[in-house]
Amino acid sequence: MLIAALTFACAALATSVATLRLLPLLIRHGVLDQPNARSGHSVATPRGGGLAVALVTLAAWLIAGLTVAPGALATAVLVAMGAGFAALGWADDRRSRSVWSRLALQTVLALGFGFGQSTGGAPGWALGLAAFIVWHVNAFNFMDGADGLAPSQALMFSLGLGLLLLASGKPDLAIGAAAVAGASGGFLRLNWAPARVFLGDSGSYFLGFALAALGAMAYIDGVDWSALACLAAPVVVDTSLTLVARASRGARMWQAHREHAYQRLLARGWPAARLATALVVLHLACLWPAAWLAATSSYAVPALIFVYGLLAIIWLRARGMH
């Protein structure tokens, strides 16, 4: 536990410093998010700050893999594919590419992770895992549309997962989760409303991958999938229901929009800080206890029904449906 706590603190401090150092470079090279009709900000803001999150987390994973939590193959695959997602996101921050080329490259990286895991040579599992990673990377990217929201989800998911892993006697993987939590927390300080810098695709792709990959590794290591589903519920519910609603109207899935529940709440006048705070409180009050219940008892199904039912109700009310 001490090593995980130190990893969290060092990652938070390093990410905060690295992001501050990165800011003038982003401004100098014009890596800025310009306001538009869908934006929640009114002035040009540097994007791509998530590159600092990725670099610090990857460094922490490497150090842990070589010292306190040795696992050469698992660490090499995790770091290599994580670096790939961060690099792809950074390229998209600099110049946007087509949806299909982006998905193709994400799929290659996800397949690399899926087949690189020690899964007893089951290709079906590797393919399914790759599909989930691609879905989660893009779902997490969709959530990165309000100051502080996406880093808050990354912080609370990885911190909750780390605590579950420590309680389950799996400290090695808990250190990996602590690195993500610390880096997310360090970046959140500068991304809190009003944000001084945005994650950009480099950060949202990387964190979307990191959370999915750590969740998959925790599942392989014996953590109940229902506990992981509880922690991931905000991303899963908002993205899934929004896509279903759009598909039912024949809308194109890849077109930008403002139909997510959190976007509707922003449009109704919710401050971004209030939204991010509500997400943190939701984790502490509901999702963490439900995940703990799912992981340590026979009440996994009731916990899942409660979490997903509650979030579905929140989603409906946020969209003005009763």
Q: With the CA atoms of 261, 225, 112 and 68 taken in that order, what torsion angle do they form, in degrees rounded to the nearest 10?
A: 110
* pLDDT score, position 119: 55
* pLDDT score, position 50: 94
* pLDDT score, position 322: 42
Residue segments in the chain with a per-residue pLDDT below the cut of 50: 322
Tokens standing for residue 304: 């899942």
DSSP string spanning 46-62?
A: E--THHHHHHHHHHHHH
117 in Cβ contact with 235 (< 8 Å):
no
DSSP string spanning 155-167?
A: HHHHHHHHHHHHH
Q: With the CA atoms of 116, 122, 123 and 125 taken in that order, what torsion angle do they form, in degrees rounded to the nearest 10?
A: -80
From the number of C-beta atoms within 10 Å of its C-beta (0-12, 13-18, 19+), residue 9 rates as middle
* pLDDT score, position 273: 95
> Is 32 in a helix, a strand, or coil?
strand
Within 13 Å of residue 313, how many CA atoms lie on the same side as its CB? Answer: 6
Token pair 């969290």 is found at: 8
State the amino acid at position 9 in one-letter form. A
All residues at 6 or more sequence positions from 191 whose CB lies less than 8 Å from its CB, including other chains: 49, 147, 148, 151, 197, 198, 199
Tokens standing for residue 271: 């401050």
Q: Is the dihedral of CA 128, 82, 68, 168 positive or negative?
A: negative
CA geometry: angle 317, 320, 322, nearest 5 deg: 60
The pTM assigned to this predicted structure is: 0.92
Q: At what angle do helices 171-191 and 50-66 cross, to 10 degrees?
A: 160
